[in-house]
Structure 1
Amino acid sequence: MPEADRSASVFFAVALTFVVTMMGTTLPTPLYPIYQDQLGFSQLIITVIFAAYAVGVIGALIVTGSWSDQIGRRPMLLAGLAFSAASACAFLWGGGLAPLLIGRVLSGISAGIFTGTATVAVVELAPAAWAGSATLIATAANMGGLGFGPLFAGVLAQYLPAPLALCFIVDLLLIAFAAVAVMRAPETAHRPERARLRIQSLRVPAPVRGVFVPAAIAGFAGFAVLGLFTAIAPAFMGEILGYSNHALTGAVVFALFIASTLGQTGQSRLPESWRLPVGCAGLIAGIGLVASAILGSSLTLLVCGALVAGVGQGVAFRAGMGAVTAASPAARRGEVASTFFVVLYIAISIPVVGIGVAADTIGLRAAGIGFSIAVAGLAATALVSLVIRRRAIA
Structure 2
Amino acid sequence: MRTAAPGALLMLIMAQPNMATGMMPYYRHAWTLAPLLITAIFAAYLFALTPALSLVGTPPTRRAWWWRIGVGSGFGIVADLAMAVADSPEPVVVARICAGLSVGLVTGSLAGLILERTGERGRTAMAVATVLGSALGTLAAAVVAEYLPAPGVTVYLGHAVLLGVIAMAVVSDRAVRPAAIADPTSATAAAAESRITGYLSGIAAWVSAGLVVALLPSYGAELLGTTNLALLALPVTLYLVSAWLAQRLIAPNRLAAEPVSAQWIIIAGVALAAAMAWTPSLALLLCGGVVAGSGQGIAYRAGLRIVSAATPPDQHARAAARFAGVAYACAAITTVGLGAVATVASMRDAVLAAAAVLILVAVATAVVRRRAMAHAADSVPVPQIPTIA
TM-score (norm 1): 0.82
Residue 315 of structure 1: how far off its partner (Å):
1.8
1:352 corresponds in structure 2 to 335
Decide whether aligned partners of structure 1 residues 188 and 280 sit closer, same or farther in structure 2, where only a CA change above 3 A counts. same
Residues 15-61 of structure 1 deviation map (CA, whole Å, 9 limit, x = unaligned): 32222221112100021222222222211111101101112211221
Counterpart residue type for residue 170 of structure 2: V
Residues 52-91 of structure 1 deviation map (CA, whole Å, 9 limit, x = unaligned): 1112211221122333725443332221210001111111
2:144 corresponds in structure 1 to 156
Counterpart residue type for residue 118 of structure 1: L
Question: 1:216–1:343: 8 Å Cα contact kept in structure 2?
Answer: yes
Question: 2:109–2:317: 8 Å Cα contact kept in structure 1?
Answer: no
Give 2:135's match in structure 1, choosing from 130, 142, 147.
147
Decide whether aligned partners of structure 1 residues 173 and 318 sit closer, same or farther in structure 2, where only a CA change above 3 A counts. same
Counterpart residue type for residue 276 of structure 2: A
Show the 5 A alignment for 1:49-198: 49-67=41-59, 69=61, 71-125=63-117, 133-188=121-176
Residues 184-217 of structure 1 deviation map (CA, whole Å, 9 limit, x = unaligned): 4234499xxxxxxxxxxxxxxxxx9x92334333
In the alignment, structure 1 residue 243 sits paired with structure 2 residue 232: no
Sequence identity, in percent? 27
Between the aligned partners of 1:83 and 1:105, the Cα distance in structure 2 is 9
Decide whether aligned partners of structure 1 residues 381 and 145 sit closer, same or farther in structure 2, where only a CA change above 3 A counts. same
Between the aligned partners of 1:231 and 1:300, the Cα distance in structure 2 is 20
Between the aligned partners of 2:215 and 2:239, the Cα distance in structure 1 is 13
Residue 134 of structure 1: how far off its partner (Å):
4.5
Residue 296 of structure 1: how far off its partner (Å):
1.9
Question: 1:283–1:379: 8 Å Cα contact kept in structure 2?
Answer: no
In the alignment, structure 1 residue 306 sits paired with structure 2 residue 294: no
Between the aligned partners of 2:6 and 2:310, the Cα distance in structure 1 is 31
Decide whether aligned partners of structure 1 residues 59 and 189 sit closer, same or farther in structure 2, where only a CA change above 3 A counts. farther
Question: 1:284–1:375: 8 Å Cα contact kept in structure 2?
Answer: yes
Decide whether aligned partners of structure 1 residues 330 and 180 sit closer, same or farther in structure 2, where only a CA change above 3 A counts. closer
Question: 1:61–1:338: 8 Å Cα contact kept in structure 2?
Answer: yes
In the alignment, structure 1 residue 291 sits paired with structure 2 residue 274: yes
Counterpart residue type for residue 185 of structure 1: D
Residue 334 of structure 1: how far off its partner (Å):
6.8
Decide whether aligned partners of structure 1 residues 364 and 139 sit closer, same or farther in structure 2, where only a CA change above 3 A counts. closer
1:367 corresponds in structure 2 to 350
Counterpart residue type for residue 225 of structure 2: G
Show the 5 A alignment for 1:6-85: 9-67=1-59, 69=61, 71-85=63-77
Question: 1:44–1:359: 8 Å Cα contact kept in structure 2?
Answer: yes
Between the aligned partners of 1:373 and 1:272, the Cα distance in structure 2 is 23
Question: 2:200–2:303: 8 Å Cα contact kept in structure 1?
Answer: no
The RMSD of aligned alpha carbons is 2.9
Decide whether aligned partners of structure 1 residues 184 and 338 sit closer, same or farther in structure 2, where only a CA change above 3 A counts. closer
Between the aligned partners of 2:123 and 2:238, the Cα distance in structure 1 is 21
Residues 277-316 of structure 1 deviation map (CA, whole Å, 9 limit, x = unaligned): 2212212222222222333222222222222222222222
Question: 1:25–1:107: 8 Å Cα contact kept in structure 2?
Answer: yes
Residue 11 of structure 1: how far off its partner (Å):
2.7
Between the aligned partners of 2:371 and 2:304, the Cα distance in structure 1 is 20
In the alignment, structure 1 residue 227 sits paired with structure 2 residue 204: no
Q: Where do 5+ consecutive residues of structure 1 fail to align?
A: 1-8, 191-207
Decide whether aligned partners of structure 1 residues 327 and 117 sit closer, same or farther in structure 2, where only a CA change above 3 A counts. closer
1:194 corresponds in structure 2 to none
3-state secondary structure, aligned to 2:226: coil
| Greater displacement, 254-263 / 150-159 | 254-263
Q: How many residues align?
A: 365
Residues 248-284 of structure 1 deviation map (CA, whole Å, 9 limit, x = unaligned): 2333212212222233345544358622222122122
Between the aligned partners of 2:13 and 2:35, the Cα distance in structure 1 is 26
Decide whether aligned partners of structure 1 residues 368 and 76 sit closer, same or farther in structure 2, where only a CA change above 3 A counts. same
Decide whether aligned partners of structure 1 residues 107 and 78 sit closer, same or farther in structure 2, where only a CA change above 3 A counts. same
Decide whether aligned partners of structure 1 residues 295 and 112 sit closer, same or farther in structure 2, where only a CA change above 3 A counts. farther
Residues 118-141 of structure 1 deviation map (CA, whole Å, 9 limit, x = unaligned): 232234345xxxx67544434322
